[in-house]
Homo-oligomer: A and B are copies of this chain.
Amino acid sequence: MTDTIADRLARLGHQLPEASGPAANYVPVTRIGALAFISGQVSAGVTGRLGAELTVEQGQAAAAAAALSLLAQIDRLVEGDVTRIGRVARLGIFVAATPEFTQHPLVGNGASDLVVAVLGEAGRHARTTVGVASLPRGAAVEVEAIVELKDGRA
């Protein structure tokens, strides 16, 4: 458990993106006691809707891209020290989808699988996956998280 999120992603063939900074009047992360609330991260560069322009495989790639941005926020929060991550409590997964689309769970696995591949048991989360009409900047997937941290710092 002494390697970093970036190390683990590299072994999986992913590069840790730059964590986005504060935008306007909201911030990427707030912390209340042991809980960190992470703002919704959209799938950078992957736009379109499931059931229309995108296949399930493309949706999974979009979910993984959103999860990468989420991991970048978590990495910054714990300053690269994965031992400070207690547990990913919950992922909220929003999939841009048509009314006819039914395979949201498969798309969501693109995010869930990457989080667990990188964080192991600490990454096993509760989740809610729904199909929405549209997402910021036309993104295909948006993922938010609540994460437990182990230290008591405020």
Interface residues of A (CB under 8 A from B): 22-30, 32-35, 37-40, 49, 51-52, 86-92, 94, 96-105, 108-109, 112-113, 115-116, 123-138, 142, 144, 146, 148
Contact check, B130 vs A32: say whether CB atoms are below 8 A apart.
no
| Complex Cα spacing A133 to B134, Å | 9
The oligomer's copy count stands at: 3
A-B contact pairs, 17 of them (CB 8 A): A24-B112, A25-B115, A26-B91, A29-B126, A30-B90, A32-B34, A32-B86, A37-B89, A39-B126, A39-B128, A40-B130, A92-B128, A94-B128, A128-B144, A130-B142, A132-B132, A133-B133
A75 to chain B, nearest CB (A): 16
Contact A112:B26 (CB < 8 A) given known A128-B92, A130-B142: yes
